[in-house]
Structure 1
Amino acid sequence: MSTSSSSNEIILPPMLPDLSTGSSFLFFKDALAAVEELEDSGSSNDTRAYIERHREEAHEKLMRDYFAKPPKFGERFFRHRYRMSKRLFLKIVGDIEAQYLYFQQHTDSRNRQGFSLIQKCTSAIKQLSTGEPSENFDEYLCMADRTSRECLINFCDAVINIYGREFLRRPTSHDIAMIQQAHEARHHLPGMLGSLDCTHVEWRYCLRSLKRQYTRGDHKVPTIIIEAVASQDLWIWHSFFGPPGSNNDINVLNQSPCMTRWFTFVKAYPHPVDPKEKKFKRVQEAARKDIERVFGVLKGKWKILERRIRFYDLDKIGKVVEACCILHNMIIKDDGRAISPVHIMDQPTPIVYDPSVLPELHDENVHHRLRYDFTEHVSGLDLAYLDDPTFQPTPIEDLI
């Protein structure tokens, strides 16, 4: 074609080969038929890879390392790795074995012994204390990822059902008397029951992370809030878990069984000017460190609460948090640091409803009068003990 007509020339692409009769068409046709046959039969020639885990040898090694006489690793190593004394751990193991069939050792169809109770409880404790994925303990315990997760959830259920009534109880009249006596001697605040605060637990697999329901500006990842009330001995008397991390402390307290408008919650002066108010605020800040130390010990001992929790289900996370709080209190009692170690139940009494009590509890004037009385009481105290190094509480690192 001439140059003048080159602009009007239409160039056609080359013809593609006809795949309908070629080998490529037959290959894909046979592959599609094989897939359809596989879907219809519901079976496959490629089975799941079987890994031979020598759990008997792992059990023997675990017994030699920690539970033999004498063990390879002594009490100091045991307490550091299990976060509790061997005496307390064996007590928990015995109580769980007596009440839960899952933790009892069974024999499978090949007449082979399953995982021992010690292995299952060790796997659960390791996951709580380190916060690492369950598959990380496969090399030492010879336990699969799924089995380790099952051990953790069943262990938390067992701890809650067996020990929750005693170690996460509401304070009885005996407990209140002991707590008030200890707080008045320590913080010079008569009638003090404890301090209250909130902390956040990061949620790695939050299903609503893109909706920002569990995310707040000061936390870049989804979090769940824990509210707790603790006494001077770091015993947790109340815990409330579940509010999304997007809430502030006031929103959490409004949802909590503890109501913020009760006059028994003595709030600090927002802008103290008078010397008496400054003195009272300093005493109150010193007492408020109890709950801060509780969160430091709780997350330092159970790293699963410090790292991002790898669960999709919020109920399972709640069980983990509650079990950690119960174990935290059990360790305090086992170490002899509990203010009220004995659970003395109150005698059953008839419930009497007084309609005049609730308005008084919600009366803001009563709250201000109570705070004023505390301010006058603290103004006559010598606060030199707050600067005394020998009076300072035990460092958190020594309690983990």
Structure 2
Amino acid sequence: MNKSLFMGIVHRLSTEIPYFRLTEDATGRTSLSPLQKCTAAIRQLAYGGAADQQDKYIRLAETTARKCLHNFTAGIITLFDDEYLRHPTPEDLERLLHTGDDRGFPGMIGSIDFRKDVERAFGVLQARFAVVKNPSKLWDKEKIGNIMKACIILHNMIVEDERDSDTIEEFQDEEFTFTVKRPTKAGNAIGRRKEVRDSHIHQQLKRI
């Protein structure tokens, strides 16, 4: 996810969702920042790890990390559902039923072709969000549904954000400036992915 997109999400959540606003307890201690809460939630979606793993990375207890994920997914759905999640219409259902009827499955929605489309869509989500790929026995149906909706919305936001951009951003430290270029074609994206996973290139970079 582009840094500017992530910070935009953090800003919207911190200004419009009460859970993400800075507060103080009775002792005057400040709550976790919106950035910490959103980072913890995104890490759980992206890497699919247990909530207690956030304690090592961002110093959050398991129960707090779970609250961050729950409120993050609910907030994403509340703020961006209408804009980034297309809901089926009666016309969609009628079209799918008609297609199923034409292919010899009267009363059934679509056919094997549509099932392949669904499998491909889940494959894309699993590649981006490990939480979709991992077992989900820890959550009830409502939370699983919210996680899936939030992942779809985030995926659509990322795709739209990257569509017309040639580069991600420049990341600077004291000595170097890195510009990460974004591929504009699917073939280039596949090539970049192979380069990232190439063990020979990995060893070369380690020796630099």
TM-score normalised by the shorter chain: which range applies? 0.5 to 0.7
Write the distance in 1 (CA, Å) between the matches of 2:192 and 2:123: 9
1:111-140 deviation line (CA, Å, top 9, x unaligned): 222111100000000111111110011022
Q: Structure 1 CA distance, aligned partners of 2:20 and 2:186?
A: 45
Does 2:158 align with 1:323?
Answer: no
Of 8, 15, 19, 1:102 maps to 19
Aligned length: 164
Q: Specify whether residues 289 and 144 from structure 1 end up closer, same or farther in structure 2 by C-alpha distance, changes over 3 A only.
A: same
Q: Which residue of structure 2 lines up, in the alignment, with residue 306 of structure 1?
A: 133
The amino acid of 2:42's aligned partner reads I
Say whether 1:335 aligns with 2:165: no
Identity %: 34
Q: What residue in structure 2 maps to residue 111 of structure 1?
A: 28
Q: Secondary structure at the match of 1:258?
A: helix
The SS at the match of 1:150 is: helix
Shift of residue 110 of structure 1? Answer: 2.0
> Is 2:86 the partner of 1:169?
yes
Q: CA deviation at 1:92?
A: 0.5
Q: In structure 2, how many angstroms separate the alpha carbons of the residues matched to 1:141 and 1:150?
A: 14
Residue deviations 1:178-222, cap 9 Å, x none? xxxxxxxxxxxxxxxxxxxxxxxxxxxxxxxxxxxxxxxxxxxxx
Residues 1:138 and 2:138 aligned together: no
- Structure 2 equivalent of residue 174 of structure 1: none
Corresponding letter in the other structure for 1:112: R
Question: Cα deviations across residues 56-96 of structure 1 (Å, max 9, x unaligned)?
Answer: xxxxxxxxxxxxxxxxxxxxxxxxxxxx1101101111111
Q: Secondary structure at the match of 1:128?
A: helix
Report SS of the residue matched to 2:31: coil
Contact 1:97 1:103 in 2 (8 A): yes
* CA separation of 1:397 and 1:301: change in aligned 2, threshold 3 A: farther
TM-score under structure 2 normalisation?
Answer: 0.67
Q: Map 1:199-238 to 2 at 5 A.
A: none
1:149-169 per-position Cα deviation (integer Å, ceiling 9, x unaligned): 011010001000100001112
Higher alpha-carbon deviation: 104-113 or 298-307: 104-113
The structure where helix makes up a greater share of residues is 2
Q: Larger C-alpha radius of gyration, 1 or 2?
A: 1
RMSD between aligned residues: 3.4
Unaligned runs of 5+ in 2: 105-111, 165-184, 194-208
Structure 1: unaligned runs, 5 residues or longer: 1-83, 171-237, 239-256, 270-283, 338-389
The residue type equivalent to 2:55 in the other structure is D
Q: 2:97 aligns with which of 244, 262, 266?
A: 262
